[in-house]
Structure 1
Amino acid sequence: MKPYAKGLCCFINLLALAVTAQVTNVFTPVADTYVRNQPGTENSNYGTVDYVYLYSYTGSRDYYGYVRFDLSSLGLGTQIMDASLTFTKVTTAERNDTLTSGRFRALGLLDVAGNTPQ
């Protein structure tokens, strides 16, 4: 094999290693729901509706969304370098107010083995 061909093979092998070092995964929710911080809704279950209602009215009447993903395919000890979450406005919800962007709190379930505070 010619010297430049050996160098090219080595470069391609190194490039293949670099490409496989980071993998992009796309996960869809396995469950979702929302809860309302409003008197009289303590026992309401919204897990069967086809949307997650996110709404902030006052401190005494907010809606909190919960989305669950099955990450078991990542394997134990997998390091997540970056993550993003996208919500889409739908026309089938009770209300369709103007969307605003902002910061959201990401809360993990601390009573599940392996989860840590976010």
Structure 2
Amino acid sequence: MKIKRRKRGHGAMEASSLADILFFLMLFFLMVSTLASQNALGIKLPESRTGKSMHQELLSVSINAQRQYFINGKEATYADYEAALKEKSITSPNITIALRIDETVPVSELIKAVDVINVYKLHSVISTAEKK
């Protein structure tokens, strides 16, 4: 009696589609982490022992070390900054302006930014990093 042997199939898994999926997942998480980061603009805040977190309507204004203005993460000129604050003073006067200024920026630039806030009688806070 002749015994027939079965041919075993080779187990293989296609990895090309898996690599594509992993690439898109990595790309998604990199984009989300950049958007969620407070320091996406590269601003190093000065430290404070008495700082508090705020949870209300905020307009984030950032000034980096090169004295570039950013309003809610979008680059703007000083004239755009003034126009945005004028508009906010009319549309939502209870808004709070959160100033995030790099610690290397001269105080004169801070005074210039705060002066515009005072002209339009808006509330403001200066963001700092938590002292360790």
- Please report the TM-score for the alignment, with normalisation by the length of structure 1: 0.28
Of the two structures, which has the highest relative contact order with CA contacts closer than 8 Å and spacing of 6 or more? 2
Larger Cα Rg: Structure 1 or Structure 2? 2
- Please report the TM-score for the alignment, with normalisation by the length of structure 2: 0.25
> More strand by proportion, 1 or 2?
2
